[in-house]
Structure 1
Amino acid sequence: MNKLALLLTAAVLALGAGPAFAKKQLVIVVKGLDNPFFEAIHQGCEKWNSENASSEYECFYTGPASTSDEAGEAQIVQDLLGRADTVAMAISPSNAKLIAQTLKTAAPTIPIMTLDADLATDDAMLRKTYLGTDNYLLGQKLGEYIKKAKPNGGKICTIQGNPGADNILRRAQGTRDALSGQKGNAALAGEGGWTEVAGCPVFTNDDGAVGVQAMTDILAANPDLDAFAIEGGWPLFGAPQPYRNLFKPLADRIATGDFVVAAADTIGDEVAIAREGLVNVLVGQRPFEMGYKAPSVMIDLIEGKPVADPVFTGLDECTKETVDTCIQK
């Protein structure tokens, strides 16, 4: 199904007038259809469909047009839960609390799981399992790389996505804990030698251009900045040329580790940017695997089979030295 068809389907479903499906639907609802990360999940879903054409089940992928449309995602979840042909659902919550409230209101009788992003710990009982990245570990790896490059600490800014997205908040916590050497720090103010500068963290709502502009402003206001921890790859894969333009003047400092940029994901131009030496490390996720595995996990839940909680899909580290062997999504 192409992107236009997905958008039209989402719009029809949001109006509560979606057509009947021929098969039982294993629904994946993502934060937004405008993000290449989620398109990789879509491709995994379609791969499962192609390998299971004779199944009574079908993987159906949808979401709001934009990752900034938190209410739209919640509405799609609500509408699809009201359909008789929806037999299980995997959700990537853009706003964890809003999706939790939607589930409480809808009181679904089908298996619900989370994908890519989880619900808050207090709401975990609303889903059967989480499938995706160990987000705390991802953020921790970003922090460990920065700390190794600059063991004496310095000034840092974290670039984040939606302020209500549980996965991004967990990554940020992992980064702070790794840098400080302590658990549970809020914004760093000297712990472990690291200080988060004014105006940070930056919340981009997963918009790459917003991220690049924010980093431009932060650098202008803080010429002594030492590092960026980019908790999602949005500025690199969403606005690759503006990102390159911003960091080319810092290429020599990045090469020596005097200035450190650590970012999540290996999507789109990110691996090429690593090859160009404009990011020190990428910690890649496996979104295709998430989309491919989700239907099978949902079927296991439907059939009452034991399913681990969580189900982690692993991470891949990519640097300029390892770029030729990086797993690109």
Structure 2
Amino acid sequence: MKFKYLAITALSAVALYAGQAGAADKKTLAIVVKGLDNPFFEQINLGCKKWLSEHADSEYKCLYTGPASSADEAGEVQIVDDLLTKGVAAIAISPSNAPAMATRIREIAPKVPVMTIDADFLEPDRMLRKTYLGTDNYLMGVKMAEQAKALKAKGGSVCLQLGNVAAANINARAQGFRDTLAGAKNVDRLTGQNGWKEIEGCPVFTNDQADLANQQMSDVFTAHADLDAFILIGGWAQFAPQAYTQVTNQVMDKLKSKKLVIIAGDTLPPQTQAFREGRSHAQVGQRPFEMGYRAPDVMIQLIKGEKVDDPLYTGLDVCTAEAPGFCEKN
């Protein structure tokens, strides 16, 4: 299942903007996300648009773009390359493939400020950007592990569902999750620590595709009838609510009894609906709208040479049955 929020391609959006910006004589503050097919990033877009509506008289304009598909890592690198070639005042990047994007930024050596948003570069490459704006992803993994421990005090068998293999933010969440359950640092895999063990064939990688995420869940549930916990490190499967409903219908009795627990990342509307229906036991949500809304101001500070903290964390929202909080009405 693909999400089609825009009728034009990312590259044509860049070209279209170039003409509009020239006429308006606006300087470009570019936000480049992993893919326009992911509704999580649409929230960043809405934040960018909100900033734009409140700064109509500014000399700057917020541009949101990215490849049509979240699986197009090379396409994202090319868009960043094109934007920097055409000329932008500053750029905020959510790298799908962190090493590949860092390599290209190093080659281009742009003179304009570069920051990361939502996903960061790997630690050895962080000198290439001025700051990171987004989630403390390791902490997000910790929060998900805390919910797993609360629901399964004795541990159990678990499957982690991840995104792209080289996505630094997703991998940081997985690290926080594993370390917290194991009670140790830099754990590569749960092999029985404190009763937790990752099953054979997991983790699974969705490549940020909702249809693949749901198929993977279904396959795991079929192959491992005694699974104790399934962890959506990102919310991919829930972004396709109809398919997610069908998949969780397979195991609703287990979900109701908590023989099987599901913990998922993010709190977009279809996800909070799934939570209220008992199709997940906890949601740990990021704040993507805030990322998109704050990014232009951060870029302007960088352009002006002002001191900006690094990192800039946007916080988390945790929803549980006992404290539904953000998920109760959203």
Match of 2:38 in 1: 35
Are residue 257 (structure 1) and residue 286 (structure 2) matched?
no
Give me the whole-angstrom Cα distance separating, in 1, the residues matched to 2:190 and 2:80. Answer: 36
The more displaced of 291-300 and 170-179 is: 170-179
Shift of residue 324, structure 1, vs aligned partner: 6.4
Select the residue among 167, 179, 182 that pairs with 2:181.
179
Q: How does 1:22-101 map to 2 (within 5 A)?
A: 22-84=25-87, 86-101=88-103
Match of 2:160 in 1: 158
Residues 263/281 of structure 1: CA separation in 2 closer, same or farther (3 Å cut): same
Q: How does 1:266-285 map to 2 (within 5 A)?
A: 266-285=267-286
Give every structure 1 segment of 4 or more consecutive aligned residues whose post-TM-superposition deviation is greater than 6 Å: none
Are residue 242 (structure 1) and residue 256 (structure 2) matched?
no
Q: How does 1:99-248 map to 2 (within 5 A)?
A: 99-237=101-239, 239-248=240-249
Residues 159/197 of structure 1: CA separation in 2 closer, same or farther (3 Å cut): same
Give me the whole-angstrom Cα distance separating, in 2, the residues matched to 1:258 and 1:162. Answer: 29
RMSD between aligned residues? 1.8
What SS does structure 1 have at the residue aligned with 2:251? helix
Equivalent AA in structure 1 for residue 37 of structure 2: D
Equivalent AA in structure 2 for residue 188 of structure 1: L
Equivalent AA in structure 1 for residue 164 of structure 2: N
Kept in 2, the 8 Å contact 1:36–1:268? The answer is no
Shift of residue 302, structure 1, vs aligned partner: 0.6
What SS does structure 1 have at the residue aligned with 2:301? helix
Kept in 2, the 8 Å contact 1:9–1:18? The answer is no
Shift of residue 8, structure 1, vs aligned partner: 5.6
Give me the whole-angstrom Cα distance separating, in 1, the residues matched to 2:9 and 2:36. Answer: 8
Kept in 2, the 8 Å contact 1:156–1:195? The answer is yes
TM-score of the pair, normalised by structure 2? 0.93
What SS does structure 1 have at the residue aligned with 2:269? coil
Kept in 1, the 8 Å contact 2:255–2:279? The answer is yes
The more displaced of 107-116 and 213-222 is: 213-222
Cα distance per residue 1:242-298 (max 9 Å; x no partner): 211222343343234321110000113111111111100000110000000000000
Give me the whole-angstrom Cα distance separating, in 1, the residues matched to 2:173 and 2:328. Answer: 20
Give me the whole-angstrom Cα distance separating, in 2, the residues matched to 1:325 and 1:94. Answer: 28
Equivalent AA in structure 1 for residue 314 of structure 2: T
Match of 1:288 in 2: 289
Kept in 1, the 8 Å contact 2:119–2:168? The answer is yes
Shift of residue 325, structure 1, vs aligned partner: 4.1
Give me the whole-angstrom Cα distance separating, in 2, the residues matched to 1:325 and 1:207. Answer: 25
Match of 1:312 in 2: 313
Kept in 2, the 8 Å contact 1:68–1:205? The answer is yes
Percent identical among aligned pairs is: 52
Cα distance per residue 1:119-177 (max 9 Å; x no partner): 00010000000000110111111111111211211110000111111000000001111
What SS does structure 2 have at the residue aligned with 1:26? strand
List runs of 5+ in structure 1 lacking aligned partners.
none
Give me the whole-angstrom Cα distance separating, in 1, the residues matched to 2:310 and 2:64. Answer: 22
